[in-house]
A and B are shown apart, each in its own frame.
Chain A
Amino acid sequence: MKDIRLMKGNEAIAEGVIRAGCDGYFGYPITPQSEVLEYLMMNKPEERTGMIVLQAESEIASIHMVYGGAGCGKRVMTSSSSPGISLMQEGISFLAGTELPCLLLNVVRGGPGLGTIQPSQSDYFQAVKGGGHGDYKMIVLAPASVQEMYDFAKLGFELAFKHRIQVMVLSDGAIGQMMEKVELDEQVPRLTDEEIAIKYPWATLGKPTTRERNIITSLDLDPVKQEKINIHLQEKFRHIEQTEVRFESFMCEDAEYLFVAYGSSARVCQKAIQLGRAKGIKVGLLRPITLFPYPTQEIARLSKQVKGILSVEMSAGQMVEDVRLAANGAVPVEHYGRLGGIIPAPDEVLNVLEEKFIAKNNHGRSAN
């Protein structure tokens, strides 16, 4: 029998990481994601799988505990919300420089600064373009449902270890706080130290007797060597761009207009599509699931089919830059966003689409 539960997004990813065989969670509470830590504490995963759950003294401590755990080849993670993720950027850059796999969760709230506790998507640049210093990328997964919050725990660890990369789940306050149905799957066992030693030759094991000890550092003062390291990283990112793009198309087959939106905004756009289709407007949605790597080719393809693209995000216009790069001038690309924790309403989004493209087109037609 299927194990189906009603859960908050934050609870779902917490259950997800336990079942994905996570070895350790290190975090510090902040709204709107504190339920992750609370759920883990209440469910005592140390009794279920031996997984460690630790409330650190700060976000900076949390990310460096992740750095240490990841260096040992363990499946480790942290979670926070926007201001806390900003604090972690130095540690994330170190993880990138040493190619250590880990899972990071940002349940985004409105900024800048302490901002608000309401949902936002204004951390896109930070997550996708590199919030820390140096030339690096993380794989960024954008869940649009509570089920995906659960699923991306396992997927996140798989991708992290497959590519030795940091995987960030970029969620928002709405997805974190809402409850939906979740179908749970089987427990993945945690790896033993022996299995880690065989699977991950890069991991540190203390003082092994069978080989030289590994030293994990992001420091190499020789620029020739450092350039080689960087070229290797870039090759890896290009490979990920070729192999790991994920997206969902919703009513795109006959679409004359296209929404591009991720996370909560994508859900709002789905409702806007229902409202629009009822009025005879052929509009579809391209929902990026990976924000890096970005579904550039699919948007380029659709930009030759549609008359206009509206990028909808709860920001002042961050992802729209990648939509414009993908469309590359083939079709007008506009942005619509609400700021500071406001979620746009479905009819509001549809009105903008009509104002920006359809009213204009009708005018153009009459001129022809």
Chain B
Amino acid sequence: MTEEIIIAGFGGQGVLSMGKILAYSGMMQNKEVSWMPSYGPEMRGGTANVTVIISDDRISSPILNQFDTAIILNQQSMDKFEKTVKKGGVLIYDPNGITHHPTRTDINIYTVAAVDEAAKKGSAKVFNMLILGAFLKLKPVVDPEYIHKGLEKSLPARHHHTIPDNENAIAKGKEIVMPKYLLN
């Protein structure tokens, strides 16, 4: 199993930390992982993206231009990364703020209304965990017990009291992910 993922959105949405939790969780399950962030001019321009690879085998290139799954959280990232999903792959996006919805017909497309859900919950902080839940529902590449361990490992001890909230958000994300366009 190898899952190659791009997560892309605005800085501050928790894109990099969501990738980190995923990578830590994979590591706890004894998988090979890599986490390659954007750190260049795009970061300084407000957008952020990270490539995460989780695999049973040694990972070759940590830098990719084609992905099994793209998780897209703003319009700029949609413009840039819709085309990078491998044929038959998965695109997950939050429709909030998206003006040009994806149009590809050779991939599976899902929406997750995480901004709305986080607003309902009154906690913008769990936004990225709702998204992570949506991803894990579609691609259960890491077992839930290891997600727990990944949260423990990646969050500093002073934030460990937030782990139950994070896990609830992951569970909620699994519920609210909706198919938008599916291949036969």
Contact = CB atoms under 8 A, between A and B. Distances in A.
Contacts of B27: 4, 6, 181
Interface in B107-149: none
B40 interface: yes
Interface of B is mostly: mixed
Contacts, number: 73
A271 B24 CA distance: 23
B14 interface: no
Contacts of B64: 271, 345-346
A179 B16 CA distance: 11
Contacts of B39: 31-32, 117, 173, 177
Interface string A230-271: 000000000000000000000000000000000010011011
Contacts of A346: 60-61, 64-65
Interface residues of B, number: 23
Contact of B63 (A4, A116, A174, A341): A174
Contact of A181 (B33, B63, B65): B33
A268 B34 contact: no
A202 B99 CA distance: 70
B62 A181 contact: no
Nearest to A4: B27
B20 to A, nearest CB: 7
Contacts of B40: 116-118, 341
A178 B36 contact: yes
Contacts of B63: 174, 264, 267-268, 343, 345
B65 A179 contact: no
Nearest to B19: A179
B24 A268 contact: no
A114 to B, nearest CB: 13
Interface string B21-51: 0011001000011111101110000000000
Given A116-B40, A341-B40, A345-B65, A274 B60 contact: yes
A347 interface: yes
A146 to B, nearest CB: 8
B13 interface: no
Nearest to A270: B60
A90 interface: no
B62 A6 contact: no
Given A268-B63, A346-B64, A179 B32 contact: no
